[in-house]
Amino acid sequence: MVPPATFTSYYGRPVVKPSPWQADIPAYLFLGGLAGASSMLAAGAAATGRPALRRTGRLGALGAISLGFAALIHDLGRPERFLKMLRVAKPTSPMSVGTWILTAYGPLAGVAAAGDLADLLPGRLTRLGAPLRALAAPAGIGAAALGGGVASYTAVLLANTATPAWHEARRELPFVFIGSAAASAGGLGMLGAPVAQAGPARRLAAGGVAVEYVAARRMRDSMGITAEALHSGRVGRLMSASRALDIAGAAAGLVLGRRSRVIATLSGAALLAGAGCLRVAVFEAGQQSARDPRYTVVPQRQRVELRAAGQPVDNQTSTRLCS
């Protein structure tokens, strides 16, 4: 069915409200993905004797999750009431689930990084490193085990809303996000570790970009008219930039990154920038789709008309049936 060209609205005003979230939230989406996948890279590096890659992953994960945590608190309307998050645990609230994932993950990422942090301290303070390093390996494995949750729950956080471009992206968005997370963590590994140790980072980045590319293509086809919000205008240019940076960074890193630290550094930076563009694009696409009543009214009107015509309407696949 072709979506109707016209639709009715109340003076063109939005039906649903865009989230009140500011730049903190796309920043957190990026940082959370970077942290989760970096913990995995660090655990693998620790297990296979790649100290520089391990250090990059652990410090990167701790830095990213700390900044991300600060961004989450800063975005609250009443930041001083942050701890109210810990009075309940609700599986129906992805934000509650995410809070508890972070509550477990954050300290593990911190302990895993503490030994490597101590090494950065001057002089005699490095003695503190020994006991911390003993705890680092198990903590690092714990952080890696939770890293997938840290990197993927944010997709559900966005999709579990009435924001059209987020909800209609719900099937593929977790895979777009974990692909982007892998690409960014691989990019950070290529930036921080010498080329001899960064092989897994190059491969993780390339795999992540491939998954993200395929998932984003499928998502575009399954989002119905809300795909417009993600693929046109300024947001569409951000998506194109993300794809170009990702592919260039992953390919150059894989082919030339093993020989040249300069190219590895540039590739890593491109991958991080690509992941950042993607998160901003997905976030802004949702905000825009909420501000335009077309994205809310047209798919719902189609469902009503299909139902009136006696055709089966499955909310899970409504836009696929209609597009």
Measuring CA to CA, which residue among 204, 222, 117 is closest to residue 165?
A: 222
Three-state helix/strand/coil letters over 79-131? HHHHHHHHHCCCCCCHHHHHHHHHHHHHHHHHHHHHHHHHHHCCHHHHHHHHH
Q: Which stretch binds other proteins (CB under 8 A): 114-122, 161-169, 218-226, 238-246?
A: 161-169
Measuring CA to CA, which residue among 107, 115, 105, 117 is closest to residue 136?
A: 115
Q: Are 102 and 147 in contact (CB under 8 A)?
A: no
**Is 203 or 231 the residue whose CB approaches other proteins more closely?**
203
Q: Does 140 bind other proteins (CB under 8 A)?
A: no
Q: Does 149 bind other proteins (CB under 8 A)?
A: yes
**Is 111 or 182 the residue whose CB approaches other proteins more closely?**
182
Q: Does 253 bind other proteins (CB under 8 A)?
A: no
- Amino acid code (one letter) for 9: S
**Is 37 or 225 the residue whose CB approaches other proteins more closely?**
37
Q: Does 311 bind other proteins (CB under 8 A)?
A: no
Q: Spell out the residues 6+ positions from residue 57 whose beta carbon is closer than 8 angstroms to its own.
A: 38, 39, 40, 41, 42, 43, 45, 185, 188, 189
Contact track, other proteins, 32-51, x by CB under 8 A: ----xx--xx-xx--xxxx-
Measuring CA to CA, which residue among 319, 318, 189, 322 is closest to residue 254?
A: 189
| Contacting other proteins within 52-91 (CB under 8 A) | 75-79, 81-82, 84-85, 87-88, 90-91
Question: Using the rule CB under 8 A, which residue among 201, 250, 280, 282 binds other proteins?
Answer: 201
Provide the minimum distance between the beta carbon of 82 and other proteins in the complex, in angstroms, as a whole number.
Answer: 6
Q: Does 9 bind other proteins (CB under 8 A)?
A: yes
| Contacting other proteins within 203-232 (CB under 8 A) | 203-204, 207-208, 211
Q: Does 303 bind other proteins (CB under 8 A)?
A: yes
SS3 percent helix, strand, coil of the chain, rounded to 5, is 80, 0, 20
Provide the minimum distance between the beta carbon of 151 and other proteins in the complex, in angstroms, as a whole number.
Answer: 6
| Contacting other proteins within 13-32 (CB under 8 A) | 13-21
Question: d(Cα 48, Cα 193) in Å, to the nearest integer?
Answer: 14
**Is 113 or 182 the residue whose CB approaches other proteins more closely?**
182
| Contacting other proteins within 258-297 (CB under 8 A) | 286, 290, 293, 296-297
Q: Does 145 bind other proteins (CB under 8 A)?
A: yes
| Contacting other proteins within 89-118 (CB under 8 A) | 90-96, 99
How far is CA 136 from each of CA 34, 156, 194, 202, 302, rounded to the nearest angstrom? Answer: 19, 30, 22, 24, 55
Question: Using the rule CB under 8 A, which residue among 56, 163, 184, 242 binds other proteins?
Answer: 163
Q: Does 6 bind other proteins (CB under 8 A)?
A: no
Q: Spell out the residues 6+ positions from residue 61 whose beta carbon is closer than 8 angstroms to its own.
A: 34, 35, 36, 38, 39, 42, 109, 112, 113, 143, 147
Question: Using the rule CB under 8 A, which residue among 30, 105, 177, 295 binds other proteins?
Answer: 177
Provide the minimum distance between the beta carbon of 193 and other proteins in the complex, in angstroms, as a whole number.
Answer: 11
The two structure tokens encoding residue 263: 């190219």
Query: By rule CB under 8 A, what count of residues binds other proteins?
Result: 91
In b/e form, how buried is each residue of 177-198, taking b as 16+ CB within 10 angstroms? Answer: bbbbbbbbbbbbbbbbbebebb
